[in-house]
Structure 1
Amino acid sequence: MFVPENVSRRRALVRLAALGAGMTGAFTAGGASAADTSKTLRIGYQKYGNFVVLKARGTLDKRLAAQGITVQWLEFPAGPQLLEGLNAGAVDIGTVGETPPIFAQAAGVDFVYIANEPPAPRAEAIVVPQQSPLRSVADLRGKKVALNKGSNVHYLLVEALKKAGLAYTDIQPVYLAPADARAAFVQGSIDAWVIWDPYLAAVEKQAHARQLVDGTNLVSNVQYYLATRRIASTQAPLVHAVLDELDQVDRWARDNVPAVAAQLSPLVGLDADILETALRRTAYGVQPVTNATLAYQQRIADVFTNLKLIPKQLDVSAARWNVA
C-alpha cells in the first residue's frame, strides 16, 4: 500500500533550518561563500510532478554542472510544507498548487511567481468511501472533511461548498497531511477527503474511493513554480535555465505518458496504471505568469481573507517576478 512521507511541521522546520545553515555553498546575494566556491541550487519538490521527472532524467543537473552548480533535491509532502522550507532558507525554487502561495504570502514569506502550468481541474476532487450514503456536496453538512490546510484543495472545498449552498462553517474541517488523511479515510474516522493527484488516483484505485465532485467548473487548479525573491532577482539566468529544462521535460511527458508513469513508479511507490490515470488528468506546458493568472490568485486571496483564514488583505501582484 502506498504511504506518502509524513513530516510534522515542527520537525520539518528544524530539519530544514539545520540543512540551510549547513549549506556553505548555497547561493547568496554575492554568489558562493568564501569557504566554498561551488554553488548549490536547492529545489523543493513533491512526490509527484515535473520536478520528479526532471530529477530522474538528470538533464538539469548536467546542464548546471557545466557552470559549477550542484542541484540539491528536497522532497516535501505538500505545498505548505515546501513553502515553510523556502521561508526557512533551505529552498531556492519549488513547485506548489494555487492556494499555498496565498497562505505563504500572508505569513510574510518572500517569494515570486516565476511560471505556471495550465489549469488541471480534474486532478483534484472531494472523495468519499464507495459505500458512503453521501451522494453530493450538499450532503457534507455537519460532516468531517479532511484536507491539508492551505493546500490547493482548500480552495476547491470552499468553492464546492458555496456552489452547493453551504458555508464553510457548515462542515467540520479536519486538517491533516495526505498520509494522515489517507489513514483516517481508510479507517472511516472522517466522512470525506479533499485531495489531489496522485493521492487521488491512488485512493480511487486502492480503496475504491468515489468522487463527489472534481474541480471542473469550480477551480482552475494551477501549478506554480516559485523562487525566493533573492534568487529570482540576482540569478535570473539560472531561473531561466530551470524553466527551460522544465518546459522540455513537460513537452516530452505530454507525449510519453506510459513512459513517464513507468519511470515515476519506483520513485513514488505507486503502480504505473495509477500514475497513468493521474498523468492523463494533468496539464502540460510551462507558461509565463500573466495578469489574468495573478488576478485569479487575487480572487483566491480575497476568498480566504473574507473567511478570516488569512489575517489581512493581500496584494498578490507584490509577488510578481520582474523578469530579467
Structure 2
Amino acid sequence: MTARSSDRRRTAVPKEPATVTANRRLVLTTALAAAAALALTACSSSSSSSDGRNATASSGGKGAEVTLRIPDPGNSGFLAKGKKDGSLERALAAVHAKVAWTGSAGPFAPAAQALNAQQLDVAQGSITSAVAALAQKPGFKLFAQTEPDQAGEGILVKNGSPIRTVRDLIGKKVACSQGGTSEYLLLKALKQEGISPDQVERVYLRADQTSGVFNSGQVDAWATWGTFAVPAIANSGAHFLVDGKAVGSDNYAVWAVRTGFADQHPEVVKAFYGYLHDNGRKEKADPGAYLNVFTDAGPTAVTPAEKDLAIGVARQRAVESPITEADITRFGTVAAFFAEQKVTKSTVDVRPHLIDVNSLAGAAK
C-alpha cells in the first residue's frame, strides 16, 4: 500500500515478533482440481487454465465445469456452514461450477495480491483496504457490499488504561494495519478531534499478528475490527475507546472478484452473490447457529466468554447487497479521505472497478 515514507512518527516492528506463531501466517495457495481421466473411448481432453477453470466435462454434457477459488472460511459464519453442509457447492452446481477452498480468510491486502496473481477468484475485504489496493495495479473488481460494521470496529485500549479520550492518544503507540480498516479508523478519530496524525505513533502490524503485542503492552491501543475486537474484549480485558459509529465510519465490507474470472464467468459470480445475500440474511436472523461450525474447541473456536458479544455484533451486521449509487458516493468519500491523509498518492476513482451484479448474465436462485 502507498503511504508516506517521510512520517517520522511511524514505527515498524520486527516481521516475526516473538508472540506470533508461524501457523497464524496467512497462506494463499492455488487449489485447482486435477483433470479427470479419459473415459474409455471418449476423445475429451483436460487441462487447467489461468482463469481457474477446470476443463473436466460436467455431467449431462453441459460444458466445462468452472472452479471458483475462495479463501477457507474458518470455523464460523455462513460460508463455513456452506462448506460443511455442501449448500454452497449445490448453489454453484446450478451454474456448472464448484468451489475450491484456498488458503484461509484474513486481511485483504494479501488476498488482493493473490487475486492479481490469478491464485484466487473471490475474496472479502473492506472498502478501505480495497481503495489502497486499487491505488496499485488492480486485477479485481467489487461486486457486493455490506454496510459498515459500526459496532464491531474501533480503537481498543486495555481496561484500566489511563487513555480515556482520543486526545489521550497523543504521544502514544497505536497498532494498526497499513492502508486498511484500522489505519482508517485511527485517522478518522484523530481528524475528528483535530489531532495531527504525526502526534500519534502508528505501529504497523498485520491484524492477525497484533494480539500478543497489544496484550503485552508494547502498544497503548489497537485500531481493529470485529474478528479481532471480539476476542480482545472478551478475553483480554479490553474495551473500545471509540467505535465505528463514534468516528462516523464509512468502512463498508466488500466482495472482490478477479477481473478475468468475472469477464469469463458472470453467471458464476451472480450465483455466488445470490448465495451470499440469502445466507447472510439467515445468519443475521440467528447468528448463534453459525458459530463453531466445525469445532467448539481449539484456537479457531469462539469461547463461551466471546459468544454473547459475537452474537450481539452479528445481529447488527448488514446483509450482502448490490452496490448502489449511494454506496459509490460513500466509497468516494473514503477514497478522498485516504488521499487527504496521504495514505494514497491521489484520490482513487473506485467506479471503474465496480460490477453491477444485477446486470450479470444468468440468474442466481
Normalising by structure 1, we get a TM-score of: 0.87
SS at match of 2:70: strand
Matches of 2:301 and 2:21, distance apart in 1: 8
State the Cα distance separating 1:319 from its structure 2 match.
0.7
Matched, 1:308 2:336: no
> Of residues 163, 176, 190 in structure 2, which corresponds to 1:161?
190
Report the alpha carbon displacement of residue 107 of structure 1 after superposing the two structures with TM.
1.0
For residue 236 of structure 1, what is the aligned residue in structure 2?
Answer: 266
Number of residue pairs aligned between Structure 1 and Structure 2: 316
SS in 1 for 2:302: coil
Structure 1 Cα separation of the partners of residues 198 and 125 of structure 2: 26
Q: Which residue of 2 aligns with 1:138?
A: 167
Partner of 2:51: 28
**What secondary structure, in the 3-state scheme, does the structure 1 residue paired with 2:24 have?**
coil
**Deviation readout 1:149-196 (Å, 9 max, x if unpaired):** 222222111111111221221111111112321010111100100111
Q: Name stretches of at least 5 consecutive residues in structure 1 with no aligned partner.
A: none
Please list, as runs of the form range in 1=range in 2, the aligned pairs for 1:72-87 lying within 5 A after superposition.
Answer: 72-74=100-102, 75-87=104-116
Determine if the alignment matches structure 1 residue 291 to structure 2 residue 325.
yes
| Uncovered stretches (5+) of structure 2, i.e. residues with no partner | 1-19, 36-46, 59-63, 361-365
Does structure 2 retain, via aligned residues, the 8 Å contact 1:232–1:239? Answer: yes
Report the residue type matching 1:44 in the other structure: P
CA distance in 1, matches of 2:22, 2:161: 24
1:147 deviation in Å? 1.1
Q: How does 1:94-173 map to 2 (within 5 A)?
A: 94-173=123-202
1:160-239 matches, cutoff 5 A: 160-217=189-246, 218-239=248-269
Contact 1:45–1:82 (CA<8 Å) still a contact in 2?
Answer: no
User: Deviation of residue 234 (structure 1)?
Assistant: 2.1
Q: Structure 1 residues 83 and 204, CA, compared in 2 at 3 Å: closer, same or farther?
A: same
Percent of matched pairs sharing the same residue: 24
Structure number with greater Rg is 2
Partners of 2:24 and 2:196 lie apart in 1 by 30
Asked whether 1:64 is paired with 2:81, we answer no
| Letter of the 2:51 counterpart | T
Shift of 1:262: 4.3
Question: What is the root-mean-square deviation in Å for CA atoms of aligned residues?
Answer: 2.9
Report deviation, 1:248: 1.9
Partner Cα distance (2:22, 2:236) in 1: 15
- Counterpart for residue 70 of structure 2: 43
TM-score after normalising by structure 2 = 0.77
Letter aligned with residue 266 of structure 2: A
Task: Determine helix, strand or coil for the equivalent of 1:263.
Answer: coil
Offset at 1:4? Answer: 10
Whether the aligned pair in 2 keeps the contact of 1:145 and 1:172 (CA below 8 Å) is: yes
- Is the contact made by 1:113 and 1:320 (CA closer than 8 Å) also made in structure 2? yes
The 3 A distance-change label for structure 1 pair 276 and 117 is farther
